[in-house]
Amino acid sequence: MDCIEIEGGMPLHGEIPISGAKNAALPLMVASLLTDEALHLSNVPHLADITSLANILAQHGVEIDVQREGGDIGGDVVVMRAAEITSTTAPYDLVRKMRASFWVIGPLVARCGHAIVSLPGGCAIGTRPVDLHLMGLERLGAEIELAEGYVTARAPKGLVGNEVEFPFVSVGATVNLMLAASLAKGETVLRNVACEPEVTDLATCLIAMGAKIEGLGTRKLRIQGVERLSGARHRVLPDRIETGTYAMAVAAAGGEVVLKNGVGRLNSAVIRVLKQAGVEVTEVANGLQLIKNGARHKGVDIETEAFPGFPTDLQAQFMALMATCEGTSKIRETIFENRFMHVPELARMGAQISVDGDCATVTGIERLKGAPVMATDLRASVSLVIAALGAEGLTSVNRVYHLDRGFERLEEKLSAVGATIRRVRA
Ligand code: EPZ
């Protein structure tokens, strides 16, 4: 298995291009199931998760063409056309690899009147049930049955709009219901929805496809179902999690870097916290500029929250940064119950972190030391890269396939700004 080796201690200087957002591109791709016309997506990051979802969509009958976009941002243009849905079943073998594939259930039942989709199962960061997705589809009139690990959803006469109130915010359930309600009969009102920028990006694309959605960016979405949707062209928004990740990499390693295409308003909670820690962050014409001199950063307390709060997808990276802060930092994870798996790996590099339930207390030390470490999930793995960039000596990060799921050209982007990082092929 490949591993990534990093020799720490090199400050970073230059420009890092920010790719299109994985978590926006995935639901946008699923939206292709709603129409028999072509959906053109540009700025799609070139990642393993995107390829996995493309394979899943292909087995439902979606024709997919992928072309490199070129330019320094990279990315792909993906053209998808679901002229005919050839299968409404999403088998276990495909769904278990890729939780986002559960989203096919909403559009399939809306367009075809039935769908059989494997339950995604648990995953490393928590149990991650889909009860809110199913409750929402039932409210739109789908009959739901669970048997032998599969969900069968039936609505032979089509879905019918209704009021759906989510008991807590779920990105996935909001996406699924928004997709389904776009083709339901009549009006759907979704309350307490996620207003993550990726959800809004999906709504913008659905509107371009002819959907009638009001309330973008708020906790209430009003959707008038339409009989059919058309094709559209849409550019995926820049990845705020990749932006925040590289911002923390610069903060950990020191230096001066422009995150090209990074968008301040998508990252305001993170920028506020980084400034409190002593990192200079400025919006410049082509992105976000990060400056960190040699001084140690200060400890800052955070709590993960739904957008616009501090994102759970940056919690591990922030903990790696706090491992060398002055003082202490309390980090509370409120979204997923098991998202501290990076703690023992950071401890191998000398970090002093104690965990009590959903709260980790980090006592900053002067410098981490390189060590062999193991990636456990996507964001946890990149937190080890951040720790390694600021550490003394050599770190080898094993199980890097996790990184390939969500970070496009990671080694290339970091070595271009002066990091000593390389992939060792097994
Ligand atoms: C999305 O996951 C993202 N995934 C996650 O990013 C992200 O961490 C998460 O939203 C929160 O921002 C994609 O966009 C592909 P949720 P999702 O539904 O939709 C519970 C990454 O690293 N819940 O908002 O699965 C759930 O268990 C990934 O890129 C239910 O109980 O997240 C969790 O505790 C990881 N029942 C909480 O809600 C449900 O029916 C929030 O989950 C649905 C969710």
pLDDT tens column, 257-302: 999 999 999 999 999 999 999 999 999 999 999 999 878 999 999 9
Compute how many other C-beta atoms are within 10 angstroms of the C-beta atom of residue 227: 8
Q: How confident is the model at residue 42 (pLDDT cuts 50, 70, 90)?
A: very high
Percent of the chain at pLDDT > 90 equals 89
Does residue 205 have a pLDDT over 70? yes
- Taking the centre of ligand 1 as the mean of its atom positions, its distance from the CA of residue 395, in whole angstroms, is 30
Q: Whose CA is nearest to atom 6 of ligand 1?
A: 313
b/e map 298-321, b = 16+ CB within 10 Å? ebbebebebbeebbbbbbbbbbbb
Binding site membership of 378 for ligand 1 (Cβ less than 6 Å)? yes
Binding site membership of 235 for ligand 1 (Cβ less than 6 Å)? no
- Taking the centre of ligand 1 as the mean of its atom positions, its distance from the CA of residue 115, in whole angstroms, is 22
Active site residue 123: yes
- Asked whether the beta carbons of 352 and 362 are under 8 A apart, the reply is yes
Does residue 70 have a pLDDT over 80? no
Q: How confident is the model at residue 338 (pLDDT cuts 50, 70, 90)?
A: confident
pLDDT at 125: 63
Residues 6+ apart with CB under 8 A from 28: 39, 41, 201, 202, 205, 234, 236
Does residue 168 have a pLDDT over 90? yes
Binding site membership of 380 for ligand 1 (Cβ less than 6 Å)? no
> Once rounded to an integer, what is the mean pLDDT over residues 21-27?
98
pLDDT at 126: 63
pLDDT at 290: 98
pLDDT at 395: 98
pLDDT at 376: 85
Alpha-carbon distance values, 217 to 189, 207, 334 (Å): 14, 14, 21
Q: How confident is the model at residue 196 (pLDDT cuts 50, 70, 90)?
A: very high
Same fold, 3-18+238-424 and 22-235: yes
- Taking the centre of ligand 1 as the mean of its atom positions, its distance from the CA of residue 128, in whole angstroms, is 7
pLDDT at 127: 64
Domain spanning 22-235: CATH 3.65.10.10: yes
Q: How confident is the model at residue 212 (pLDDT cuts 50, 70, 90)?
A: very high
> Once rounded to an integer, what is the mean pLDDT over residues 121-132?
73
Q: How confident is the model at residue 426 (pLDDT cuts 50, 70, 90)?
A: confident
Least confident of 165-179, 345-359, 393-407: 393-407
Q: How confident is the model at residue 26 (pLDDT cuts 50, 70, 90)?
A: very high
The superfamily CATH assigns to domain 3-18+238-424 is Enolpyruvate transferase domain (3.65.10.10)
Domains of the chain, by residue range, sit at 3-18+238-424, 22-235
Question: What is the residue whose two structure tokens read 């709060």?
Answer: 309
Does residue 1 have a pLDDT over 90? no
Compute how many other C-beta atoms are within 10 angstroms of the C-beta atom of residue 248: 29
Strand-by-strand arrangement of the 143-147 sheet: 89-90, 114-118, 150-154, 143-147
> Once rounded to an integer, what is the mean pLDDT over residues 12-21?
98
- Taking the centre of ligand 1 as the mean of its atom positions, its distance from the CA of residue 181, in whole angstroms, is 20
pLDDT tens column, 377-406: 899 999 999 999 999 999 999 988 889 889
> Once rounded to an integer, what is the mean pLDDT over residues 175-192?
98
Cβ burial of 131 (10 Å; 0-12, 13-18, 19+) is exposed
> Once rounded to an integer, what is the mean pLDDT over residues 53-72?
92
Binding site membership of 336 for ligand 1 (Cβ less than 6 Å)? yes
Does residue 122 have a pLDDT over 60? no
Distance CA 175, CA 221 (A): 11
- Asked whether the beta carbons of 215 and 187 are under 8 A apart, the reply is no
Q: Is this prediction's pTM over 0.85?
A: yes
pLDDT at 402: 87
> Once rounded to an integer, what is the mean pLDDT over residues 50-64?
96
Distance CA 254, CA 8 (A): 11
Q: Whose CA is nearest to atom 13 of ligand 1?
A: 23
Distance CA 241, CA 189 (A): 29
Binding site membership of 314 for ligand 1 (Cβ less than 6 Å)? no
pLDDT at 40: 98
Mean pLDDT of the chain: 95
